[in-house]
Amino acid sequence: MRKVKFIYNPYSGENVVIDALDSIINIHQKYGYTICPFRMGFEYDLMKAFEDIDDEYKYILVAGGDGTVDNVVNVMKNMGIDLPIAILPTGTANDFAKFIGMPQNIEKCCEQIINSKEKKVDIGKINDKYFINVASTGLFTDVSQKTDVNLKNTIGKLAYYVKGIEQLPNFRKLKIGVKSKEMDYDGDMYLMLVFNGRTAGNFNLAYKAEVDDGMLDVIIIKADIMKNIINAFIKMIKGEHLDGVKGILYFKTDNVLIECKEGIVTDIDGERGPDFPLKISCIKDGLTILGYNR
């Protein structure tokens, strides 16, 4: 018997996974797989999803956004479970799933996953937590944490922009120290992002990022003169390359130390991250995935 542990977040995105449950089961049955579902929720410990894992399980199927995948990956790492994972992008933010080439259509996703070969990809680690797409700090990084879940599910990414506008009065310089083999920066910034993936909120920012190069892509928006900052944000929104843009530092590294005493929060794929100081590293080939199509 070939089993698939199916872990799904019923609240992610616009609840699309609920409508697709029968199709997901049907497609897997057609290929000789038995789906064993686990419904995520605040009342359930995610570790329970893995209590029955044995040699009959072939992979872990995760339906949700980047934050949901992060939760599953962290539990798997902490429990020493080394099965491949596959992602059905049903969340508000599905940046990593898009990065590895997953389509939006759930049925097409299932077919692509089942007919794919295993692929080793990198993951990020921030202190004692793992992340698949991006860790960030600075202005706006707590927007997703402050955005009401019902609002996100109703109007999607627009909810983030609405919340971000509310934070504009908090636009202030933040003192930060960043040290790696490639960069030593001690100065002011507005925003810092450390990418394992390539996009954030569908904006193609870390355009140099590769899924298996063993490196993280770091972008620092310095607290420069406002003209340069506005120009930098416009280029980011347009998805234009950031090389040589005044007010922006872009470099690749496999390890970086970040220190800050400003009392600001950190964010990991839309969830609250650890407190400073931050030790962020790239774990090369740290995760096995199915469905890769780039």
- In this predicted model, what pLDDT tens digit does every residue of 269-289 receive, in sequence order? 988 999 999 999 999 999 999
One domain for residues 109 and 231:
no
Does residue 41 belong to any structural domain of this protein?
yes
Predicted confidence band at 171 (pLDDT cuts at 50, 70, 90)? low
Residue 15's pLDDT is 78
* pTM strictly above 0.85: yes
Report the interhelical angle of 16-30 vs 106-114 (nearest 10°).
30
Q: Is 146 found in the same domain as 55?
A: no
Q: Which tokens hold the place of 241?
A: 């390359």
176 and 218, same structural domain? yes
Are both 102 and 229 inside the same structural domain? no
The residue segments making up the domain with residue 47 are 2-116
- Band the pLDDT of 139: cuts 50, 70, 90: confident
Same domain membership, residue 200 and residue 88: no
Determine, yes or no, domain membership for 135: yes
291 found inside a domain: no
Note whether residue 55 is domain-resident: yes
Same domain, 111 and 134: no
* 94 and 220 assigned to the same domain: no
Query: Does one domain contain both 215 and 77?
Result: no
Dump pLDDT digits (tens) for 88-133.
999 988 999 999 999 999 999 999 999 999 999 999 999 999 999 9
Same structural domain, 147 and 263: yes
On whether both 94 and 68 belong to a single domain, the answer is: yes
* Together in a domain, 58 and 178: no
The model's pLDDT over 10-43, given as tens digits with 9 standing for 90+, comes to 988 777 899 999 999 999 999 999 999 999 998 9
- The residue among 63 and 235 whose pLDDT is bigger is 63
- Tell which phi-psi region holds residue 71, choosing left (phi > 0), alpha (psi between -120 and 50) or beta: alpha
Sign of the Cα pseudo-torsion (14, 18, 20, 24, in order): positive
